[in-house]
Structures are given as structure tokens and as C-alpha cells.
């Protein structure tokens, strides 16, 4: 994977908006730089509303392992309803960012050796085709979710009615079936735009030149085998699947809050603590937070509640 200048390869990565997508791409970029001696440029979608994202980006720039380039924010107010699902909004943003990505790549002083996108950036792979470079998808999750994602276009054709109304588990060739009540959020309502976006994602991802998975071979061997077997999912996912994990974010020194949290956890009975987190995209209104707080209080359960956007962690116990 050598670029045309004859120097060491220089790859470009595209991070989808949101901390839950930014952090995995940053960690992948660091790994490519430190372990594989690649030059790395990471394109990120500018977010002016998240101080936490700004801190993470500043930290990454300080480390100086990868070049960080912020793409200009896009206005999607005329493209999607304000109350659209977060999944839908991210897909629309990443679709609208393609012209800016194309312009940024064309302005580089080198020809990239490859483009790596995450699952929400799969439509951006067409930009890689325009520049005649290999394209890869980094799937920072497990093999089973990848299997479901590449199989969802098939389920869309063969399953009648809503998935949640099916009487039997939904079968995935060579993999564990999924119960109707356990379907991922985009599959709950087939009339919602996020479902259509998810089906499109399942169509686009196998068009890449390879998929990077944040697991290792022994973690999910049967599912990996199904993804590679041409008699099973390999007939849909016809590209190599590379388990490159575990790829994790290094732990920071414990602060005062963490210093209280872990000793408290050590004192609790096994399997007795509920972990509550809605991720970086799970924005709650004040009213919703109050209702959730009351629900946790009335549940009489021990809990840890992570408010990621506010960088706060709450823990409590409501049982004697």
C-alpha cells in the first residue's frame, strides 16, 4: 500500500460525527501510526456544540501522531426533520459531508494510499473511487452486529411485516438468530427513515475492499467463519474481514470521582449494579433526566449512571 511519491504510505480516515464514532477512529489512527509506521490524516466533522469532543481532538493534536483536519459543519435543517432519530441525522450529515471530503482530499499534497471510513461513512467510499484508492470500513463493534448489518438487505426482502411482530427468531446464516424483541433500534419500525438508512448501510459496506473489526479471532470464531464462508454470509460479504482488536482507549489516571466509584463498586454484590448510559448521541431533556432519575430511585436497584455529554458520572444504591 505505497503511495505514488515513493515515501511511506499515507492513509486518510473519516470519522463520523459524535464521540462514540470519533474516539474509535482516533484510536485506529494512532495504532496505524505507531504500530504500522503509516502517516495518517484524520478528517472529522466539526461540532461546535460539544466541549467534550473539542477536548478529545485537542488531546489528539497534542500527541502529534496523526494530522487532524476538521471538515466544515453542514446544515441539514432542510434535509431531515428536527425530531428525526439520531441514527438518521448522522447518516444525513455524513452524506452531506461528501463534497467537503472530496475537496479536502483533492487539496492534499500527496495521493492517499487508502481511505478508511466507519459504518456511518460508508457512502463516502464513492469519493475513494473517484481518487482511485482502496477503501476500507472500520467496524468498531463485534462480528455478530456486522453479520446482521450485511444481512439486513436480505431480511428486508424476505420478511413480511414488522420484525418486532414476528413469531419466530430471525435467522442469520451461520450465526446466532435474533429474537424479534431484541432487534437493533433501526429495525423496530420499518417505515422510519433510520430503517431505510440501515438497509442502505448493509448494501454499501460490502462494496469496500476490506472490513476491519475491533475483535480478535478467538472472540467470535463461528461468526467470523460465517462471514468468510461463501455458502453462508460470504456470498454477501465478499471482501476480507480483518479482526484487528482489541483496540481500546488507554485509561487515564483516576480522578476524584473515579476514586470514589471503583471502591464503591468493589463493595457491591456480584451482578447487582445497573449500568445506565445512552452514549454521546443520547441527548436527554431536563424533564427526561428527572424522570429517569425518579425511575432509578424507585427501582430500588444499585446503579451507575453515566452522563457522557456533561462528563459526569453518578452512582447510587437504593437497596438495603
Catalytic residues: 21, 118
Task: Please return the burial class of 73, using the count of CB atoms within 10 Å of its CB with bins 0-12, 13-18 and 19+.
Answer: middle
Phi-psi region of 153 (alpha: psi -120 to 50; beta: other; left: phi over 0): alpha
Angstrom CA distances, 148 to 17, 153, 181, 199, stand at 23, 9, 15, 10
Say which residues have a Cβ less than 8 Å from residue 48's Cβ, sequence separation at least 6.
73
* Dist CA 217 CA 245 (whole Å): 9
Kindly state the DSSP code that residue 70 receives in the 8-state scheme.
Answer: E
Cell 435543517 locates to: 77
In DSSP terms, 66 is beta-bridged to none
- CA 179, CA 27: separation in Å to the nearest integer? 33
Amino acid at each position: 500500500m505505497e503511495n505514488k511519491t515513493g515515501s511511506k504510505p499515507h492513509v486518510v480516515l473519516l470519522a463520523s460525527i459524535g464521540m462514540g464514532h470519533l474516539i474509535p477512529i482516533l484510536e485506529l489512527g494512532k495504532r496505524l501510526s505507531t504500530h504500522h509506521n503509516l502517516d495518517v490524516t484524520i478528517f472529522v466533522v466539526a461540532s461546535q456544540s460539544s466541549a467534550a469532543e473539542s477536548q478529545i481532538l485537542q488531546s489528539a493534536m497534542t500527541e502529534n501522531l496523526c494530522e487532524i483536519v476538521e471538515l466544515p459543519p453542514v446544515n441539514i435543517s432542510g434535509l431531515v426533520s428536527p425530531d428525526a432519530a439520531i441514527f438518521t441525522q448522522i447518516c444525513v450529515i455524513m452524506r452531506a459531508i461528501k463534497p467537503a471530503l472530496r475537496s479536502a482530499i483533492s487539496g492534499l499534497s500527496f495521493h492517499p494510499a487508502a481511505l478508511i471510513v466507519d459504518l456511518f461513512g460508508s457512502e463516502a467510499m464513492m469519493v475513494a473511487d473517484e481518487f482511485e484508492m482502496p477503501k476500507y470500513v472500520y467496524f468498531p463493534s463485534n462480528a455478530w452486529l456486522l453479520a446482521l448489518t450485511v444481512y439486513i438487505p436480505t431480511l428486508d426482502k424476505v420478511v413480511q411485516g414488522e420484525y418486532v411482530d414476528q413469531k419466530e427468531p430471525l435467522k442469520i446464516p451461520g450465526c446466532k438468530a435474533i429474537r424479534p424483541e431484541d432487534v437493533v433500534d433501526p429495525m423496530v419500525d420499518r417505515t422510519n427513515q433510520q430503517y431505510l438508512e440501515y438497509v442502505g448501510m448493509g448494501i454499501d459496506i460490502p462494496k469496500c475492499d476490506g472490513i476491519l473489526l475491533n475483535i480478535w479471532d478467538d472472540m467470535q470464531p463461528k461468526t467470523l467463519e460465517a462471514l468468510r464462508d461463501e455458502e453462508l454470509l460470504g456470498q454477501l460479504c465478499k471482501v476480507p474481514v480483518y479482526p484487528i482488536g482489541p483496540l481500546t482507549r488507554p485509561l487515564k489516571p483516576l480522578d476524584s470521582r473515579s476514586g470514589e466509584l471503583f471502591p464503591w463498586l468493589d463493595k457491591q454484590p456480584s451482578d447487582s449494579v445497573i449500568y445506565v448510559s445512552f452514549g454521546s448521541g443520547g441527548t436527554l431533556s431536563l424533564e427526561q433526566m428527572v424522570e429517569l432519575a425518579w425511575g432509578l430511585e424507585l427501582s430500588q436497584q444499585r446503579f451507575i449512571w453515566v452522563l457522557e455529554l456533561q462528563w459526569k458520572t453518578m452512582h447510587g444504591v437504593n437497596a438495603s
